[in-house]
Structure 1
Amino acid sequence: MKKSIFICLVAVMFFACKSASSTTASTEAQSPTLSTKLDKKTQVAFKGNWVLTNVSYPGSDYIKVNSFDLADSKCFIGSTWNFISNNNKGSMALTAPSCTAFNSPIVWSINDQGMFVLKILDAGVKAKKVRDGYLLKVGSVSESSFQLIDNINVGGQVKDVVYQFQRAN
């Protein structure tokens, strides 16, 4: 009797245990944009203060874009961004004279698929409480500049919105 109970317990423990790495791998394979692995090298390159110097729509110069559900994309020209790479926090501020001023903390990262993940936070709200965010492609990156590329739907066609950043002095 004791022997059969022992065998049952061993069998239950064997089938109840699952490797954490296989669970992580299958989750990442099903949803690559939600990967929790980060591209640390690129994140370190983003560290510091930046100015968004241009917003362009290659092949679609006559569209109007409401960027990040905040303001017209042209209002982002001249905006200042700060990226802290060791804790993935920062801030952004819209300062264009003809637009409504806006300042907010942000949480950001670059996942291992090269996607820039951005959450714009309200004052006093923790990032884990914010469910909405933005995924943008990371374009060319150098010591003094980088690009973020968003895709938008315009009349059933996908168009790029390119945000050009320059390192602030």
Structure 2
Amino acid sequence: MKKLFLLAVLAVTFASCKSTSATNTKVDNKTERLMKGNWVISSVSYPGSEYIKVSSFQLADSKCFEGSTWKFVSNNNKGDMALTNPTCAGFSSPITWFVNKEGQFVLKVLSAGDKAKKVRDGYVLNVANQTETSFQLVDRIDVGGKMTDVVYQFQKVN
């Protein structure tokens, strides 16, 4: 009886220690296919934008992302992005990305020559208001103890 009890306790312990991923990695192919192609960020908005500065993706001020160009390749989840705002420092980089079943956009900005599996840091944003010609990526940030949405508005480039 002791052995049976011990096995039950061990089974519960191992089940409760099962690791879970912070983001689901099962992809939403339909959403990804709609993102395929070339895009530009037409605006970045968030409440209180005239009072605070937001650093996006640890790269630059969020307003520097307005006018940035993005290319998403859906069959291999790669692409590239470039900051092109003339009032900001230029930047370009390859990226890897995917959209999971929860509608989360998972992004890694890569340095030249880096493989995605070697890059530990990434970003998780929510996909919203998606059409064939536009979509939004929404980031949640803490501003003075209050969660605030940062909305990146993407427009399709023909």
TM superposition score normalised by structure 1: 0.80
Residue 157 of structure 2 is matched in structure 1 by 168
Partner of 2:134: 145
- Of 40, 60, 66 in structure 1, the residue corresponding to residue 48 of structure 2 is 60
Q: Alignment partner of 1:141: what SS?
A: coil
Q: Which of the residues 130, 147, 151 maps onto 1:158? A: 147
Secondary structure of the equivalent of 2:129? strand
Superposition deviation, residue 35 in structure 1: 1.6
Pair 1:126 & 2:115 matched: yes
With the length of structure 2 as denominator, give the TM-score of the two structures.
0.86
- Distance in 1 (alpha carbons) for counterparts of 2:93 and 2:25: 24
Instruction: Give the deviation of 1:101 after TM superposition.
Output: 0.3
Tell me the equivalent position of 2:101: 112
Kept after mapping to 2: 8 A contact 1:38/1:110: yes
Give per-residue Cα distances to partners, 1:64-97, cap 9 Å, x unaligned: 1000000000000000000000000000000111
Task: State the Cα deviation string for residues 97-121 of structure 1 (Å, max 9, x = none).
Answer: 1110000000000011100000000
Q: For 1:35 and 1:153, how far apart are their aligned partners in 2?
A: 23
Gaps of 5+ in 1: 1-22
Contact kept, 8 Å, 1:148 with 1:163, in 2: the verdict is: yes
Count of aligned residue pairs for this structure pair = 141
What is the SS of the residue equivalent to 1:75?
A: helix
Could you say which structure has the higher helix fraction?
1
RMSD: 1.4
In 1, distance between residues paired with 2:29 and 2:132? 15
Contact 1:109 1:117 in 2 (8 A): yes
AA aligned to 1:128 is K
Look at both structures and tell me which one has the larger radius of gyration over its CA atoms.
Answer: 1
Report the AA paired with residue 78 of structure 1: G
Structure-1 separation of matches of 2:75 and 2:153: 23
Q: Counterpart amino acid of 1:60? A: G
User: Residues of 2 paired with 1:99 and 1:34: CA distance?
Assistant: 32
